[in-house]
Amino acid sequence: MRGTNSKTQDLAQEVIDLILDEVAFQTADHEQRMATLLACSLVCRAFHSRSRRHALAHLRFTLDSLGDERASKLSKVIEKHPHLVLGIQSFTFIIPPRLDAENQSSSLTNGLFSGLYRKMRQSVSYVSPLNQGGLHSLLNSLDQAESLQTLGLIGPSDGHRWSAQLSTYLLTLLLKHPVTSLCMANMRSVPRFIFQTLLTASTSLRQLKFSNISFEFFGAANTQGDIISPASRSPVQELELLDFLPQELIHLVQDCCYSPAFPRLRRLVLSIPFQDLSNQLGDFMQSEMPRIEVLELRGTDVALAYLNRSIVQPSFLSYLPTLKTLRITLHVPSLTKSGFHSILRHLAMFFGREAPPNKVIEIDVDIHRVSGASQEGFLNIQPGWSSLDQALTGPAYPDLQAFNLKLKSLYHGRLRRPFPATAMYEAKTAKVLPLTSVACRQCKVIFELVTELP
Tens-digit pLDDT profile for residues 328-337: 888 877 778 8
Residue 16 in contact with residue 47, Cβ under 8 Å?
yes
Q: Is the pLDDT of residue 313 over 80?
A: no
User: How high is the pLDDT of residue 96?
Assistant: 81
User: How high is the pLDDT of residue 192?
Assistant: 84
User: How high is the pLDDT of residue 416?
Assistant: 35
Residue range 40-45: average pLDDT?
Answer: 67
Q: Is the pLDDT of residue 293 over 90?
A: yes
H or E element, residue 168? helix 164-176
Can you give the pTM of this predicted structure?
0.76
d(CA 181, CA 172): 15
Between 197-201, 306-310, 373-377, the lowest mean confidence (pLDDT) is in: 306-310
d(CA 9, CA 334): 50
86-90, 104-108, 153-157, 314-318: range with highest mean pLDDT: 153-157
E strands within 302-393? 325-335, 362-372
Residue range 59-87: average pLDDT?
Answer: 80
d(CA 325, CA 330): 17
User: How high is the pLDDT of residue 46?
Assistant: 65
More confident residue, 130 or 72: 72
197-211, 370-384, 431-445: range with highest mean pLDDT: 197-211
Mean pLDDT of the residues in the chain: 71
In the DSSP assignment, the letter for residue 85 is G
Dihedral pair phi/psi, residue 135, rounded to 5°:
-70, -35
Band of pLDDT at residue 437, cut at 50, 70 and 90: very low
Band of pLDDT at residue 417, cut at 50, 70 and 90: very low
Q: Is the pLDDT of residue 195 over 70?
A: yes
